[in-house]
Structure 1
Amino acid sequence: MAGGSQITQGDTETRYEVFHTGCAARDVVDHITSRWGIWVLISLQSNDLRFFELRESIQGISEKMLAQSLRALVQDGLIWRKVEPTTPPQVTYGLTEFGRDVGEPLGELFDRITQRLGSREDQ
């Protein structure tokens, strides 16, 4: 990490220095693992959703926090945003290929946790 470099060049691939505070990959991980980011990604796994549908599916999230989370995840390239020119505008969100790639193991983690919690209650 000489000179505060974020990226190091290896023989065949680029490696990010995720423990460096200025690393772009670290910012993406922070957005994904934020209080609401993970729920947005899991909510979008099965369907593209409009803003109000996301707000309804993620109980406890405020409109402000949902908007901030969506903005960060769009900027990171994890989700896409489509605005229909209606009155009022209809905004739909969905996972990009990158978002599906990242969201899949998060969904599996969520499934494992809920399965284990269910089996613990049976004991």
Structure 2
Amino acid sequence: MKDFPLPPPGVRPNVLHPKCPSRGILQHLTSRWGALILVALAGRTLRFSQLRRALGDVSERMLAQTLQGLESDGMVRRVAHDVVPPHVDYSLTEIGEEAAAHVRALADWVEGRLPEIMAHRGAGR
């Protein structure tokens, strides 16, 4: 997606266009782990192990890959401390906090509608 240019000024990017770079960013934000990382980091800083525990069942590899994607998009700030033993802190950037608020709103909606959604699932069996 990196080789697809941004549209000219005044033309809005189109997430429905197969080559628009906005698709990759949306994927990072709305993937299972991307969305959960945004919610977990909203308003706070966590170390890698704390973040992994907060998410529960994510592998180290998947967490690292997802964090790298969010960091490359400017959503996550990674700060490595030069101490023994070394540790790394993760937090959201300003734009990451903004994205997290949108993801949190969707998560709140899902949680609020969960009984109704689950009832539909049960009725469909």
- TM-score exceeds 0.5: yes
Q: 2:85 matched to 1:98? A: no
**CA RMSD across the alignment:** 2.1
State the SS of the aligned residue for 1:7.
coil
What is the CA distance between 1:114 and its match in structure 2? 1.2
Q: Distance in 2 between matches of 1:6 and 1:17?
A: 12
Q: Distance in 2 between matches of 1:89 and 1:38?
A: 27
Is the contact made by 1:45 and 1:95 (CA closer than 8 Å) also made in structure 2? Answer: yes
Tell me: CA distance 1:91–1:20, structure 2 relative to 1, closer, same or farther (3 Å): same
For 2:8, the aligned partner's letter is Q
What is the CA distance between 1:116 and its match in structure 2? 2.3
What is the CA distance between 1:6 and its match in structure 2? 4.3
Q: Unaligned 5+ residue runs, structure 2?
A: 119-125
Q: Which has the higher contact order (CA 8 A, sep 6+)?
A: 2
What is the CA distance between 1:120 and its match in structure 2? 7.7
State the SS of the aligned residue for 1:8.
coil
Q: Unaligned 5+ residue runs, structure 1?
A: none
Counterpart mapping for 1:23-62 below 5 A: 23-62=20-59
Comparing both structures, which one devotes a greater share of its residues to strand?
1
What is the CA distance between 1:86 and its match in structure 2? 1.2
What is the CA distance between 1:15 and its match in structure 2? 1.6
What is the CA distance between 1:109 and its match in structure 2? 1.3
For 1:113, the aligned partner's letter is V
Is the contact made by 1:55 and 1:66 (CA closer than 8 Å) also made in structure 2? Answer: yes
Is the contact made by 2:39 and 2:103 (CA closer than 8 Å) also made in structure 1? Answer: yes
Tell me: CA distance 1:16–1:6, structure 2 relative to 1, closer, same or farther (3 Å): farther
Q: 2:45 matched to 1:21? A: no
Q: Choose which of 81, 88, 92 in structure 1 pairs with 2:85.
A: 88
What is the CA distance between 1:83 and its match in structure 2? 0.4
Q: Distance in 1 between matches of 2:11 and 2:96?
A: 20
State the SS of the aligned residue for 1:71.
helix
Q: How many pairs were matched up?
A: 116
Tell me: CA distance 1:75–1:120, structure 2 relative to 1, closer, same or farther (3 Å): closer
Counterpart mapping for 1:57-68 below 5 A: 57-68=54-65
